[in-house]
Structure 1
């Protein structure tokens, strides 16, 4: 089945230089689907690319379409795809090459040669249409609104992080950072059985939303040390080393910490002797693997409130505003770009 040769998309040419223009679409293969995009979440990585032309160690090398948190409707499909045209889907942005040893082991999120929508130079989903592999799309039940389906990707990241942390029934959990990922991690940890989830940040508006969505306690750590003890699991979602160092000191002996937020290339000040003395485990989480089905199920039955994290909507022509909104407005959590909605 043929597809359009191009689509309208928001293309990043350099820091602050985002242009809405026609962008070529790759041909539809037998195992591909064409997705008409309904909504795309703005992630911190998109904001970094827009502001600086880089995100962590990845640098913008050529004009690239941003966006990797997408939902939409299948509008065409390859000959080997069993899904029906009209199926509502959430798009998993990084599914690995599928053939290397890492992918075959099940850890496709760590594929050394894989690509990810919106990670330069791979075009992303700030577009009216995208072509995706069948294995990258997950049908959405009718109980998940299509717009909210764009948040399944960050929810899958939260699910993966909580799995990596090994949160168990009765655990006391600390989440540092009350951005969208931190608030989703908090909700998933509660659903996983944590009896107390403490959330820290320096933004009172975000802390208030975390409390509304289920945090046991919220703490504004601006200018003060975190005075807690006996925490079982720490999930660091702020990407600030100081928050990690503070959080590590709250863990009980043999506790575990997972770095979820985008880590800088290197950091100083790791309290290694403290970790060794108390056998505290420090590990990381990167994207997600096999987490989309769980994320969709949690959103569908209400165990996680995705709508409570969604705070803003922008049409494709106002994608620049969408990329600036979370930084300019402290009340914004997750905003979405809606390519087909001129009234968003």
Structure 2
């Protein structure tokens, strides 16, 4: 039996790195594109119709869409870890289509009503922000934490925002692109570090330790490259936590003996789980400002150009937003 559903008139859809990767590589790990697939999963829309038994939403409600709907019956779902559900139906993850469409049907309880003062673009950005919230929760970021974030792309930047909101005292974020580091600094990073491809992880650790007041107790790798994962382990203080968010090669070499001897925990992150309400609360309260992440806007008829901009980083692109309806048409307050 299907859960209660709503039909949504889509409004704003952000382009994610995974969308670009499916376009260029045709797969991410075990998820392989075998037929034409509609992309899009960072999204917000307006309720156009409600199905039977829908109690939490009404026609006209503006909602953020949590794109993954689990089976609700397996052990993982019952234990509250629904992101690990083997039968998850996730937008724009083969074999399921995404929501960059005029209308899209979705489970009502995975749609979150937006307060009047939260824009549709902010609603769409709750998806990547939830990744950052989940990563920081997995790392147990809290008051006084000293955090190293590897990668200042969209996920690195939302992780920065989440870490700040959770009370981190010092945050160093790294990247190979100075423009991204400039944005990170603007968003409140304590330190930024421009990496050198020619330097080894061990050499870069010295730069990290010279920059921060002391070794970080939390490290979040938002790149997925072998070099960044190695750096995260080497740089984290003994007894600390390393969280791997970025997905790169299926197998990489890691300094496990170093991590074991110093009891550095290595934890994985897969999407998010029970994090959308927290992400919405952070944005609605004003504690987190995700608007700065959006650098480019396109109409849905310009989707090909939007993907080119996101893929190649034209014009310093960070987050590219596609508007299915005219921009701000559904905002209660004009931004």
Q: Normalised by the size of structure 2, how large is the TM-score? A: 0.91
Paired residues for 1:180-259 under 5 Å: 180-223=154-197, 224=199, 225-226=203-204, 227-229=207-209, 230-259=215-244
Instruction: Give the counterpart of 2:309 among 317, 322, 325.
Output: 325
> Partner of 1:116 in structure 2?
90
Q: Which residue of 2 aligns with 1:40?
A: 13
Alignment-derived partner of residue 176 in structure 1: 150
Residue segments in structure 1 that go unaligned for 5+ positions in a row: 1-28
- The answer to whether the 8 Å contact 1:231/1:250 transfers is yes
CA–CA distance in 1 between the matches of 2:304 and 2:28? 17
Distance in 1 of aligned mates of 2:296 and 2:303: 12
Match of 1:312 in 2: 296
Give the distance between the partners of 1:51 and 1:100, measured in 2 at CA.
34
User: Is 1:73 the equivalent of 2:53?
Assistant: no
Deviation beyond 6 Å, 4+ runs, structure 1: none
How many Å separate the matches in 1 of 2:153 and 2:176?
A: 10
**Cα-to-partner distance string for 1:116-137 (whole Å, 9 max, x where unaligned):** 0111210111111100011210
Could you tell me which residue of structure 1 aligns to residue 33 of structure 2?
A: 60
Q: CA deviation at 1:87?
A: 0.5
Indicate conservation of the 8 Å contact 1:30/1:79, yes or no.
no
> Could you list the runs of 5+ residues in structure 2 that have no partner in the other structure?
210-214, 330-335
- Tell me if the contact between 1:95 and 1:135 (Cα under 8 Å) persists in the aligned partners: no
1:97 deviates by 0.9
Which of 242, 257, 260 in structure 2 is aligned with 1:276?
260
Shift, 1:247, TM fit: 2.0
The residue number in structure 2 matching 1:302 is 286
Displacement of 1:216: 0.4
User: 1:222, CA displacement in angstroms?
Assistant: 2.3
In the alignment, which of 69, 79, 82 is matched to residue 95 of structure 1?
Answer: 69
Provide the residue aligned with 2:333 in structure 1: none
For residue 128 of structure 1, the aligned residue among 94, 102, 105 is 102
- Of residues 264, 284, 289, the one that matches 2:273 is 289
State the Cα distance separating 1:57 from its structure 2 match.
2.3
Tell me how far 1:314 sits from its aligned partner: 1.2
1:338 to 317, 323, 334: 323
Aligned 8 A contact 1:77 1:85 in 2? yes
Root-mean-square deviation (Å): 1.6
TM-score of the aligned structures, taking structure 1 as reference length: 0.88
SS in 1 for 2:45: strand
Partner-residue secondary structure (3-state), 2:69 = coil
Higher strand share: 1
